[in-house]
Amino acid sequence: MSEVARSARRSQKGSPATHAAAAAVSGIGPLALSFELALHALNRSPKTIKSYMGAVRIFEAFLVAEGMPTTVGRITREHVETFIADQLRRWAPTTAATRYRCLQQFFRWLVEDGEIATSPMANMRPPSLPEVPVPVVVDDDLRRLLAACDGRGFTERRERPSCACSSTRACGWPRWASCG
């Protein structure tokens, strides 16, 4: 349980406002701040923190827009699946998969911190990613590339080896096939 949640719960034990204060603290917003602090304490890279926090904020905005609960104890698998399905409709599958992984870390942290007993993502699987074929350089394009490096001048002769190495790697040939 985060320190913010503990202090809010200690300060108003037993009063009717206790439940309201606990619900406010148990919302995604305040807990996201604690999560961000925990990420800094774990020395995560700034890019990782930005990615995790961005996904949490987007998820929270989605829940609010859809009229779904933002109290972490009331978020279910269905809410997360609806969010991921929405992300798949709006963005590339890799983006949805990244946001899935970020939310997974957030909910894992909530469980470790004692905010929730089990993660709503406990038995979920990430969205599948379709195989994206790697574009292959066709022979005509390769010939044109090598022809651009032809010439008798200093620059053309200097560039010829690197041009050949780049083009063979682009079409999948091993480096030793053309580069000494």
Range in 53-57, 73-77, 103-107, 151-155 with the lowest mean pLDDT: 151-155
Mean per-residue pLDDT for 131-148? 80
Task: Clarify whether residues 87 and 11 are in a common domain.
Answer: yes
Residue numbers of the domain that contains 70: 3-112
Whether 125 is in a domain gets the answer no
Does 81 lie in the same domain as 18? yes
State how far the alpha carbon of 69 is from the alpha carbons of 59, 72, 87, 88, in Å: 11, 8, 18, 21
Least trusted range by pLDDT, from 23-27, 41-45, 96-100: 23-27
Query: What CATH number has the domain bearing residue 48?
Result: 1.10.150
Angle at CA of residue 75, ends 74 and 78, nearest 5°? 130
Q: pLDDT tens digits for 59-101?
A: 999 999 999 999 999 999 999 999 999 999 999 999 999 999 9
Our count of domains for the chain comes to 2
Answer yes or no: are the C-beta atoms of 164 and 178 closer than 8 Å: yes
Cβ(84)–Cβ(127) below 8 Å: yes
Asked if 105 and 170 sit in the same domain, the reply is no
Distance CA 120, CA 108 (A): 10
Of the pLDDT bands very low, low, confident and very high (cuts 50, 70, 90), residue 15 is very low
Number of Cβ atoms within 10 Å of the Cβ of 135: 8
Q: Are residues 164 and 102 in the same domain?
A: no
Cβ(93)–Cβ(128) under 8 Å?
yes
The structure tokens 């406990």 sit at 122
User: What mean pLDDT is predicted for residues 45-65?
Assistant: 98
In terms of domains, do 91 and 18 share one?
yes
Kindly report the pTM of this predicted structure: 0.66
Q: What pLDDT shows up at residue 64?
A: 97
Same domain, yes or no, for 10 and 97?
yes
- The contacts of residue 114 (CB under 8 Å, 6+ apart) are 1
Of 24, 54, 26, give the one whose Cα is nearest residue 39.
54
51 lies in the same domain as 91 = yes
